Amino acid sequence: MEKPKIALMFAFVLALILLFSFSSWTNALVVADEEIPAGLGLFSMISPLLIGLFIIGAIALLIMISVD
């Protein structure tokens, strides 16, 4: 594989991991405080959708890399 493609895939996976850890962190804050602030509650509801989109994008990127 070419180095730019490996770097792009690494950055994409890192972004996915950071997004997942941030959403877990905000969910932990919401549970600890026993209240749902508007921003954190909205992010915790949308984050599974975003993670799904990242996974679909990662699979598409993997297919694009393997076709070349």
Range of the domain at 31: 3-67
pTM of the model: 0.40
**Can you give the pLDDT at residue 57?**
78
How many H-runs (helices) and E-runs (strands) does the chain carry?
Answer: 2, 0
**Can you give the pLDDT at residue 35?**
57
Structural domain count of the chain:
1
CA distances for 15 relative to 7, 44, 45, 54, angstroms: 12, 17, 18, 9
CA angle 31, 27, 9 (to 5 degrees): 165
7-66: pLDDT as tens digits: 777 777 777 777 766 665 555 555 555 555 545 555 556 667 777 777 787 777 777 777
